[in-house]
Amino acid sequence: MKYQLGEGFWSQKIRQVCDRMIPLQLSILKDEEPDTEPSHALENFRIAAGLSEGEFHGMVFQDSDIGKWIEAAAYRLMIAPDPELEREIDGIVAILGKAQQEDGYLNTWYTIKEPGKRWTNLQDCHELYSFGHLTEGAVAYHQATGKRAFLEIMQRMADHIDTVIGPEEGKLHGYPGHPEAELALYRLYRETGNEKYLKLSRYFLDQRGQAPNFFEEEWERRGRINFWSGKKDPVNLPYYQAHQPVREQEEAVGHAVRALYLYTGMACVAAETGDAELAEACRRLWHSAVNRKMYVTGGLGATVHGEAFMGNYELPNDTAYAETCASVALCFFSRAMSLMERDGKYGDAAETALYNTVLAGISLQADRFFYVNPLEVVQGVSGVQEGLKHDLAQRPRWYACACCPPNVARLLTSLKEYAVQDQGSEITVHQYLDGSVECEKAALSLKTNYPWDGDLLYTAEIRDDVKLYLRIPAWAEPENVRLTVDGAAVPVCPEKGFICLEPGKGRHEIRLCLPMKPRRIYAHEQIRQDAGCVAFACGPLVYCLEGCDNPEPLWNLTADPEGELSMLDPDGSLPDGIRKMVIPGHRRTDASESLYSGRRPVYEPQKLTAIPYYAWANREPRDMRVWIREG
């Protein structure tokens, strides 16, 4: 499925990733970026390859940064050729090849720092995680260029892993501490056709959480020492989603990114193998994550403690974690579910994550990045106070643990895979990605200013009979949606979130008009942190109030329960045609000396101005909040 950029919202974002983020990240990986702490990721491979001397530096999973960058760069090459970029990748692949050991093993941490200790700590040392990301990079690069060198490197490593881990006697009966290899092995199987990789992926999935517990046994073997704390901490199995077999799991728990990578792997394998029990577990876990534990911004993993899911409906706004990677991973998981069954809810959730938390992960200039995405920021408290130190009010330039920026890069450069699903005679449009996609039997071209207006104009060149499924977002009441095919109105009665068109061969103009009226959002009655509050959205974009546009402190503002919300035309204070929202409200205006008194607070009318959540923290650092008191 070939994709050509257009001129709209996503094309502009993808161009930024291609033109700024990918070169920036390469520069960082090569330790060439000024004023940024060296990544050492490539240097680690050079040392392992004998091309350089020195010590290992970085996280135990530093290798994965290379895999994720190559993956993003490969997708970038699929959009448009770039011989210079390809040469860079080939150069890196050559180093990786030299760093690979005789037996296929490839991991710089163990090769440089802990030789002889391979496979002794699957729980925490990320060998299989780094393998997974490198493999995803190798698959993508093979898809982009047809070059096999990297793919073969990673096949050799996969073959080696298969000799070390598995159900047979004498092998380790283990699985990844940080899931990722499961979905990567699935992709390697799809790319190579070698069923061994599917089998190993399935082994990882089904062995997880079985008794006796592999992580507990491994922990005993290494003297009960926790790798991260250096202390004798017991194994927190739910953190690793290893507390019970995956088929029995009912609730999304533990480290959110690990969980969502695991569920993605489960969904891929379930769809591929027609495993109904595994598919049902995926549906339960998707429901738990999305309908019990997701922020209105598509953020997941509410607590910094273990970067983990909290209990049902526990969604604190100021202490939120909501790692960018978790929202990226929700896109992976939802796409895998979409491939299993056509239901608009998967695209709805991915849309929420994409337009809000994923995009909030990068600055409007695509040069600074959020790892953590709070829904409330208070100057002098957020980023400062114990318990809130992770909630920064400004995007840092880079992170020692740099997982999020390359994750956003690889997601956005491959966004066509999330937007359009080509099954030959069925084409499903999940997301409204401007530009053109070339499917097997049709070419679809979308011109639109969406999400700044709701007018989506598709030109479809249909070469053979196809059913074209368009997702109608859950926020768009069908009675307010207008759809025409070649000027003729089509009734809008979505089934499971989709309208099916069969326009027939030839060129067609399909015009979808979504109702882009700004709207209020209320939270479930069990979410205590949002009680009495309202949030605002327009189309897929959740809005927030920032101190730059409103009198601080923001907690003294209320939104009127009635009264019209309106959208402003772009005013130049934010780039990219961003539209602000105006909300009728009030502001507390009394001033007290004493902390407590019997005097009722005084409120005066105050126009509130909201901006898209993804655009926050792009001006001077000020307070921000998504949920506003209604009153």
The count of residues interacting with a second copy (CB under 8 A) is 53
Quick one: which of 407, 239, 251 has its CA closest to 307?
239
Asked if 600 touches a second copy (CB under 8 A), the answer is yes
- Segment contacting a second copy by CB under 8 A, of 14-22, 115-123, 500-508, 523-531: 523-531
Catalytic residues: 307, 403
Asked if 230 touches a second copy (CB under 8 A), the answer is no
Q: By CB under 8 A, name the one of 294, 329, 362, 470 that touches a second copy.
A: 294
- Segment contacting a second copy by CB under 8 A, of 16-24, 450-458, 488-496, 520-528: 520-528
Asked if 558 touches a second copy (CB under 8 A), the answer is yes
Q: By CB under 8 A, name the one of 169, 195, 525, 604 that touches a second copy.
A: 525
Q: By CB under 8 A, name the one of 566, 597, 607, 620 that touches a second copy.
A: 597
Query: Which of positions 357-396 make contact with a second copy (CB under 8 A)?
Result: 378, 380-381, 385-387
- Segment contacting a second copy by CB under 8 A, of 73-81, 114-122, 255-263, 292-300: 292-300
Calculate the alpha carbon distances from 44 to 27, 113, 228, 268, 375 in Å: 15, 10, 21, 32, 37
> Three-state SS for 487?
coil
First to last CA, the chain: 50
- Using only the alpha carbons of the chain, give its radius of gyration: 25
Calculate the alpha carbon distances from 441 to 141, 341, 466, 471, 559 in Å: 25, 21, 7, 19, 50
170: left (phi over 0), alpha (psi -120 to 50) or beta: left
Asked if 138 touches a second copy (CB under 8 A), the answer is no
Asked if 169 touches a second copy (CB under 8 A), the answer is no
Asked if 526 touches a second copy (CB under 8 A), the answer is yes
Least Å from the CB of residue 352 to a second copy: 9
Show the tokens assigned to 199: 């089998």
Residue 282 burial class via C-beta count within 10 angstroms: exposed 0-12, middle 13-18, buried 19 and up: buried
Q: By CB under 8 A, name the one of 4, 459, 484, 556 that touches a second copy.
A: 556
Show the tokens assigned to 544: 């927030």
Q: By CB under 8 A, name the one of 21, 66, 296, 408 that touches a second copy.
A: 296
CB proximity list for 478: less than 8 A, separation 6 or greater: 472, 492, 493, 494
Phi then psi dihedrals of residue 169, to 5 deg: -60, 145
Quick one: which of 357, 164, 122, 195 has its CA closest to 260?
357
Q: By CB under 8 A, name the one of 170, 274, 572, 594 that touches a second copy.
A: 594
Q: By CB under 8 A, name the one of 54, 551, 601, 605 that touches a second copy.
A: 601
Q: By CB under 8 A, name the one of 31, 114, 314, 426 that touches a second copy.
A: 314
Asked if 475 touches a second copy (CB under 8 A), the answer is yes
Transcribe 316-354 into DSSP letters: -SSS----HHHHHHHHHHHHHHHHHS--HHHHHHHHHII
- Segment contacting a second copy by CB under 8 A, of 197-205, 210-218, 223-231, 593-601: 593-601
Residue closer to a second copy, measured from CB, 292 or 622: 292
Q: Are 466 and 442 spatial neighbours (Cβ–Cβ below 8 Å)?
A: yes
- Segment contacting a second copy by CB under 8 A, of 4-12, 289-297, 321-329, 487-495: 289-297
- Segment contacting a second copy by CB under 8 A, of 61-69, 158-166, 221-229, 555-563: 555-563
Asked if 532 touches a second copy (CB under 8 A), the answer is yes
Residue closer to a second copy, measured from CB, 572 or 592: 592
Asked if 566 touches a second copy (CB under 8 A), the answer is no
- Pairing state between β 435-438 and 2-4: antiparallel
Asked if 487 touches a second copy (CB under 8 A), the answer is no
Least Å from the CB of residue 625 to a second copy: 10
Least Å from the CB of residue 533 to a second copy: 9
- How far apart CA 133 and CA 359 sit, in angstroms, is 22
- How far apart CA 505 and CA 501 sit, in angstroms, is 12
Q: Are 204 and 152 spatial neighbours (Cβ–Cβ below 8 Å)?
A: no
Point out which residues bind a second copy (CB under 8 A). 290-292, 294, 296, 303, 305, 310-311, 313-314, 319, 378, 380-381, 385-387, 475, 519-528, 531-532, 535, 553, 555-556, 558, 561, 588, 590-601, 629-631
